[in-house]
Amino acid sequence: MNIVVEVDGQALPATLDDTAAGRAFAEMLPLTLSLGDFGGGVEKVADLPGPLPTNDAPSGMKPVAGDITYYSPWGNLAIFRKGFSHASGLVKLGRFTSGFDAIDRSGSITVTIKAAE
């Protein structure tokens, strides 16, 4: 599924994976979230309104810059600004399909995530 992450008037295209977690996340859309820095700026995180299913997901993953993920132990969305080591409980939801400079910066930002038209 194609989605758009809107921030500061910019529409950043992304694609969600066709997985149980990706489909459940798509059902939550549209979402407006406040993303904050985490892990020394490696990622931006926000709480989600509810849990996502992870029963068919691998036990973890090694994220790269531009990955949109779900950290199941805490129930939050995590967008990776940089690559990171393998993390148990991290589930890939999708990734940005082009640049994501509007998110790749320090500080809290508000984003709206919705299905692409």
In 17-82, the DSSP E strands lie at 31-38, 43-47, 60-61, 67-71, 76-80
The domain in which residue 17 lies consists of 2-115
- Residue 28 to residue 84: CA distance in whole angstroms: 27
pTM of the model: 0.95
* CATH code for the domain of 79: 2.40.100.20
- Residue 83 to residue 105: CA distance in whole angstroms: 15
Q: Where is 13: in which H helix or E strand?
A: strand 10-16
- pLDDT 10s per residue in the chain (117 long)? 999 999 999 999 999 999 999 999 999 999 999 999 998 999 999 999 999 999 889 999 999 999 999 999 999 999 999 999 999 999 999 999 988 999 999 999 999 999 998
Q: Say how many domains are in the chain.
A: 1
- Report strand pairing: 109-115 vs 2-7: antiparallel
